[in-house]
Structure 1
Amino acid sequence: MQGTPEVAVLRLGHRAGRDERTTTHVGLTARALGADRAVLAGAGGSRSETIEDITNRFGGPFSVEVTDEPQAYVKDWDGTIVHLTMYGLPIQELEAEVRQAVGTTEQGKQRGSDLLIVVGAEKVSFELYEQADYNVAITNQPHSEIASLAVFLDRLFDGSELDREWVDAEQTVLPRQEGKQVEER
């Protein structure tokens, strides 16, 4: 591994007709909350185009790729693998260990191992549970993979992802108590 460690999010699977917005929102959440890249398994097309469009308009860096071989992608990953699943161990018990494994500092900056965060769309193979270094549950109750990803990234980066600087943005949202204001650059 050379350079700055990377955080990638693999959206495992895509149920056509059911996950159109969910897959896109996994990618947008990954982007907004500190990941460097989203990898969409079996879900290219408009979903990757939407995420790329948002990155172009609101800044990056962030990239999107599509894979038709997610198992090979996981197998070939050179770094730490976290699988977000309601069947895993509670984040409260694993948070410090995961942060140490990937070398995340107190300020949320990553300085160690590349990290692949896997979120499923459909039933996940038992093989993934074995391949993952950590099977992490945000809660052991049924819930959204988008919510799990958001909570996990916030815990990983200790909130520092909320202060991220966006590069090459065509548009910037100006925070307001009321109304909406977007500035064109």
Structure 2
Amino acid sequence: RDQRITTHVCLTARAFGADGVIVSDVVDGKLEETVNKVVETWGGPFFVRTGLPWRRIVKEWLSKGGEVIHLTQYGVPLPQVIDQVRASGRDKLIIVGAKKQPREVYDLATYNVSITTQPHSEVAALCLFLHYLWEGGEFNREFENAKLKVIPQERGKKVVKLR
């Protein structure tokens, strides 16, 4: 597992509207600390948990009525399945992987969603999926309890202190 990529998955998930990230099977206190500092500075809500067994997480999620979306280069192309995913109204657990996923992930997933049929980055896959899911709504998202906020402008950087 590449720690920098895992951090970027967490940052992307937060920025694009996920409630949190679970990094399975490996306890990573440094990752948790890094992401929690971002949430403290830039707002939330957002959680990160590490070290939980993936199989148990997936099975519990499904047993509580949620759906599992596995992002891959295989499966049904995102544009063909996104309306069905959006319309389900069920809580979503999105799986991205830093390595080849076991066959069981494909079998347990409610949807195996193709983010192109080419090798790609899990960061890009998550970003694209969440953008499609929220239909661009991530651009209007406000983060609670932020200390800092960027004020968009054509040139330069403007960051304001909120508290």
Q: What is the aligned counterpart of 2:15 among 32, 49, 67?
A: 32
Partners of 2:16 and 2:37 lie apart in 1 by 17
Q: Which runs of 5+ in 1 are unaligned?
A: 1-14, 104-112
Q: Which runs of 5+ in 2 are unaligned?
A: none
Aligned to 1:106: none
| Structure with higher helix content | 2
Q: How many matched pairs? A: 158
Aligned to 2:38: 54
Spell out the pairing of 1:81-160 with structure 2 (5 A cutoff): 81-101=68-88, 103=89, 113-160=90-137
Q: Deviations over 1:13-36 (max 9, x none)?
A: xx2xxx111000101111000111
8 Å contact from structure 1 (residues 24, 48) kept in 2 = no
8 Å contact from structure 2 (residues 73, 116) kept in 1 = yes
Q: Structure 2 length normalisation: TM-score?
A: 0.92
TM-superposed deviation, 1:43? 5.0
Letter in 2 for 1:26: V
Structure 1 residue ranges, 4+ long, deviating more than 2 angstroms after superposition:
none
Aligned to 1:22: 5
Residue aligned with 2:152, SS: coil
Q: Which moved further from structure 2: 60-69 or 141-150?
A: 60-69
Q: Deviations over 1:85-124 (max 9, x none)?
A: 10121111111111122x2xxxxxxxxx111000011111
Letter in 2 for 1:82: I
Aligned to 2:145: 168
Identity of aligned residues (%): 45
**RMSD value, Cα:** 1.1
Partners of 2:42 and 2:150 lie apart in 1 by 8
Residue aligned with 1:120, SS: coil
Q: Structure 1 length normalisation: TM-score?
A: 0.82
Letter in 1 for 2:123: I
Letter in 2 for 1:131: L
Q: Which moved further from structure 2: 136-145 or 170-179?
A: 170-179
8 Å contact from structure 1 (residues 129, 135) kept in 2 = yes
Q: Deviations over 1:134-180 (max 9, x none)?
A: 00011010111111101100111111122011110011111121121
Residue aligned with 2:21, SS: strand
TM-superposed deviation, 1:68? 3.3
